[in-house]
């Protein structure tokens, strides 16, 4: 009888993989001396991360092999984005090889990731796939030659291929769903990507980055949309961001069907000459724009049919779920797990560590998404029976005297756990106040697992 081949290439690597994931979730740290219970475990974790058989891709595959779900009848959102891990300020990372940003002396690498969410309830299931890569420094002359010949390079050999390959890997890791919709920002506005998704019968929701050629007349996309009638106007309360003041915005909604032409030149003769899609535009009316700030203006390309306002608003809700992956990256950085301050020094080990940290950060986003009860996720999806029992024992001590200060969620729901974890993280418990974010949940998880460990030691 033949033995089952390990995803990690060696069955002996599965045990430290599981222990390291659990330690990161419980301690919300990437510092190996904190994750290990003793010096021996710290050394084991370090050797695990530097093992040549360990890669970001198979770390995620291993996770899903032990956290398998029945995706049947589910519509999954595969939300993609890229973040950078920069180590320019750390002298011991100067030999990483790659660079990030305009300062070519700043060492680091990139992580292109995909999260899996439930399209109906917006439950966050976790990190579905990841690709780590470096940007290698080139002389200006070499850069100019590459740019000139870029159109000749097969799409599969370009960095932008990540938008297709990572989605493909995510769907393989979460196979069996009834439908998939890939969500991406303006960087993913690539004809080859959209055509590839269409060929696989996967849907997409992608923000437009430029006015594409259309086949029906001489107009390009943006001038064509300018002639469309406004289908809907609605109000939305926008939170403050580094580039925008908090304010009540009045938004106009347009939508319609178009057919995109294949860009020229393009070396791939197998690509279709045209691609029928739907487009929606959301634009803030001038009278609600604050000062000289830029108005809200999104143009979304999608394979989903849009023939009503309700369908258009659904597409917008899916696109807005990019917030989840942005917050996951925030949790990975200095405010949260602080990947850039870990002791690991080599690119390969750091990329593996960052992937493990993303797996841990995804649980935080499960709690954030579940905090108001809308996801309807079961508590068992993230917590063991012993952990659930501890949460139930903690709940009364965190509730106040009035109904407004009590946990409003059913005990079997993820929202119930999210309320408790948020309270442990410093949230007031009042639903009228700002809801708890990822850093509050991170702090609450650390405190919860410290309490759980103390209870286990007393027993």
CB 283 within 8 A of CB 251: yes
pLDDT at residue 94 greater than cutoff 60: no
The total number of residues shown for the chain amounts to 459
CB 17 within 8 A of CB 48: yes
Q: From CA 346, how far away is CA 226, in angstroms rounded?
A: 51
pLDDT in tens, 39-66: 888 888 888 888 888 899 988 998 888 7
Q: From CA 443, how far away is CA 353, in angstroms rounded?
A: 20
Query: Would you state the structure tokens that stand for residue 289, as one six-digit string?
Result: 């724009």
pLDDT at residue 132 greater than cutoff 70: yes
Instruction: Tell me how far apart the 2 most distant CA atoms of the chain are, in Å.
Output: 76
**What is residue 239's DSSP assignment?**
P
CB 62 within 8 A of CB 8: yes
Query: Which of 236, 212, 234, 237 has its CA nearest to residue 225?
Result: 212
H or E segment to which residue 282 belongs? strand 274-284
Lowest-confidence pick of 154-168, 407-421, 434-448:
434-448
**445 to 370, 382, 419: CA distances (angstroms):** 15, 12, 11
- Rg of the chain, C-alpha, whole Å: 24
pLDDT of residue 148: 61
Calculate the dihedral angle through the C-alpha atoms of 233, 299, 79, 348, rounding to the nearest 10 degrees.
-140
Query: Would you state the structure tokens that stand for residue 275, as one six-digit string?
Result: 């691609």
Query: Would you state the structure tokens that stand for residue 175, as one six-digit string?
Result: 């196979």
Q: Which has more pLDDT, 96 or 337?
A: 337
Side-chain half-sphere exposure of 92, counting CA atoms within 13 A? 8
pLDDT band at 75; cut points 50, 70, 90: very high
In this prediction, residues 136-146 reach a mean pLDDT of 61
pLDDT at residue 147 greater than cutoff 70: no
pLDDT in tens, 299-317: 999 999 999 999 999 999 9
H or E segment to which residue 182 belongs? strand 179-184
């Amino acid at each position: 009888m033949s033995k089952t081949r390990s995803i990690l290439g060696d069955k002996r690597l599965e045990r430290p993989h599981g222990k390291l994931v659990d330690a990161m979730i419980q301690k919300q740290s990437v510092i190996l001396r904190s994750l290990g219970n003793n010096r021996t475990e710290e050394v084991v974790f370090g050797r695990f991360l530097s093992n040549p058989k360990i890669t970001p891709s198979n770390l995620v595959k291993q996770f899903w092999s032990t956290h398998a779900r029945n995706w049947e009848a589910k519509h999954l959102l595969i939300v993609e984005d890229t973040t950078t891990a920069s180590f320019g300020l750390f002298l011991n990372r100067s030999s990483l090889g790659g660079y990030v940003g305009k300062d070519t002396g700043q060492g680091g690498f990139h992580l292109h990731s995909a999260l899996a969410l439930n399209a109906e309830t917006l439950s966050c299931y976790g990190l579905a796939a990841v690709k780590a890569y470096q940007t290698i420094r080139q002389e200006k002359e070499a850069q100019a030659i590459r740019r000139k010949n870029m159109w000749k390079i097969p799409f599969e050999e370009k960095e932008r291929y990540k938008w297709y390959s990572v989605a493909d890997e995510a769907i393989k890791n979460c196979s069996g769903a009834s439908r998939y919709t890939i969500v991406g920002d303006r960087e993913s506005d690539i004809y080859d990507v959209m055509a590839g998704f269409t060929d696989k019968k996967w849907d997409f929701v992608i923000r437009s980055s430029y006015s594409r050629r259309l086949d029906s007349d001489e107009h390009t996309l943006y001038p064509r949309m300018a002639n469309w009638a406004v289908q809907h106007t609605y109000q939305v309360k926008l939170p403050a961001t580094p580039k925008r003041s908090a304010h009540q915005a009045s938004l106009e909604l347009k939508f319609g069907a178009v057919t995109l032409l294949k860009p020229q030149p393009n070396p791939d003769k197998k690509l279709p000459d045209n691609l029928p899609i739907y487009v929606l535009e959301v634009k803030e009316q001038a009278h609600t724009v604050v000062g000289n700030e830029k108005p809200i203006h999104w143009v979304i390309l999608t394979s989903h049919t849009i023939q009503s306002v309700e369908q258009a608003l659904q597409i917008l809700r899916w696109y807005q779920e990019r917030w989840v992956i942005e917050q996951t990256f925030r949790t990975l950085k200095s405010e949260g797990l602080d990947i850039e301050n870990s002791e690991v020094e080599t690119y390969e080990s750091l990329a593996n560590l960052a992937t493990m940290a993303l797996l841990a950060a995804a649980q935080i986003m499960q709690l954030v998404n579940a905090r108001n009860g809308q996801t309807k996720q079961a508590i068992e999806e993230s917590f063991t029976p012993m952990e659930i029992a501890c949460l139930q024992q903690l709940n009364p001590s965190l509730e106040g005297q009035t109904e407004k200060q009590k946990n409003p969620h059913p005990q079997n729901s993820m929202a119930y756990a999210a309320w408790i974890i948020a309270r442990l993280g410093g949230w007031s418990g009042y639903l009228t106040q700002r809801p708890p974010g990822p850093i509050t949940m991170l702090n609450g998880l650390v405190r919860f697992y410290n309490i759980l460990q103390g209870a286990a030691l007393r027993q």
